[in-house]
């Protein structure tokens, strides 16, 4: 499975097949039945991570997930401490929407030797925060401002710059528990001006919103907060995503 995640994403994009990722918060995974449902719910990837962890069970979470599922486990790191050789891959995030040098390159420099020695499928990803209608943990912890909800041109130019810099994926995120999902207009503007896969997350809490994001140009839909509240959404959103 390792070293094949990115190629599978590229293949799906070439075939215009949409993919679905469930985001697991390590602080909450023990009380979640999301993995059991994900096995038959059309989930392509399981993302693991959070802006801040309070009970220190990141490694335990990864190990437990690997025992429960064969769905690829991809780390969605909140910082350079969230690394595990037991996962299948990692989104090597560069927060290109902000101007905090630590999250553009600083933390990545610290993590590089560990990642080099691992067998993780490393996915260089331009991470773009979009205003979802309320302050989020990631904007606070990163000490950066998200791109305004209606500034489609800024999002487009930021994504284009990320691709030109050599990043392999673009991840636009409205943040956990966002009041508003990223607009279809912004997704379409970004997706039509880049050739690399586009991941969309934050505020997607219904199958209808997932469908709209996919039709606008998203290649991978990520849902986290909504399934913590209602795990039955996994199958509904999975079915919706794969219907496109």
pLDDT reported for residue 1 = 47
pLDDT reported for residue 31 = 56
Backbone torsions φ then ψ of 45, nearest 5 degrees: -140, 150
Number of domains in the chain: 1
The answer to whether residue 176 scores a pLDDT higher than 90 is no
The answer to whether residue 36 scores a pLDDT higher than 80 is yes
pLDDT mean over 28-42: 82
What pTM did the predictor assign? 0.95
Max CA pair span of the chain: 44
pLDDT reported for residue 56 = 61
The answer to whether residue 123 scores a pLDDT higher than 80 is yes
pLDDT reported for residue 92 = 98
What is the span of the domain harbouring residue 155?
5-242
The answer to whether residue 55 scores a pLDDT higher than 90 is no
User: What is the residue-wise DSSP string for the chain?
Assistant: -TT-HHHHHHHHHHTT--EEEEEE-TTTGGG--HHHHHTTTT--EEEE--S--SS--HHHHHHHHHHH--SPEEE--SSTT---TTSSEEEEEEETTS--HIIIIIHHHHHHHHHHHS--EEEEEEEEEB--SS--HHHHHHT-PPBPTT-HHHHHHHHHHHHHTT-SEEEEE--TT-SSPPPHHHHHHHHTT--S-EEEESS--SHHHHHHHHHHT-SEEEE-HHHHH-TTHHHHHHHHHHT-
Domain harbouring 78, CATH code: 3.20.20.390
pLDDT reported for residue 32 = 65
Which tens digits make up the pLDDT trace of 180-239?
999 999 999 999 999 999 999 999 999 999 999 999 999 999 999 899 889 999 999 999
Band (pLDDT 50/70/90 cuts) for residue 28 is: confident
């Amino acid at each position: 499975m390792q070293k094949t995640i990115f190629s599978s994403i590229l293949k799906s994009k070439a075939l215009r097949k949409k993919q679905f990722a469930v985001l697991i918060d390590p602080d909450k995974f023990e009380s979640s039945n999301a993995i059991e449902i994900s096995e038959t719910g059309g989930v392509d990837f399981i993302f693991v991570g959070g802006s801040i962890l309070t009970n220190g069970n990141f490694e335990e979470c990864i190990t437990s997930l690997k025992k429960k599922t064969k769905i690829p486990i991809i780390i969605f790191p909140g910082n350079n401490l969230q690394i595990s050789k037991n996962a299948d891959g990692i989104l090597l995030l560069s927060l290109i929407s902000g101007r905090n040098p630590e999250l553009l390159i600083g933390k990545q420099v610290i993590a590089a030797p560990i990642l080099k020695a691992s067998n993780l499928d490393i996915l260089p990803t331009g991470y773009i925060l979009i205003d979802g209608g309320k302050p989020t943990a990631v904007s606070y912890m990163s000490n950066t401002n998200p791109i305004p909800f209606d500034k489609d041109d800024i999002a487009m130019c930021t994504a284009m710059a990320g691709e030109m810099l050599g990043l392999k994926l673009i991840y636009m995120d409205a943040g956990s528990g966002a009041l508003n999902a990223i607009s279809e207009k912004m997704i379409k503007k970004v997706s039509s001006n880049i050739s690399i896969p586009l991941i969309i997350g934050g505020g997607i809490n219904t199958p209808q919103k997932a469908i709209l994001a996919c039709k606008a140009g998203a290649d991978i839909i990520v849902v986290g907060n909504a399934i913590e509240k209602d795990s039955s959404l996994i199958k509904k959103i999975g079915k919706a995503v794969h219907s496109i």
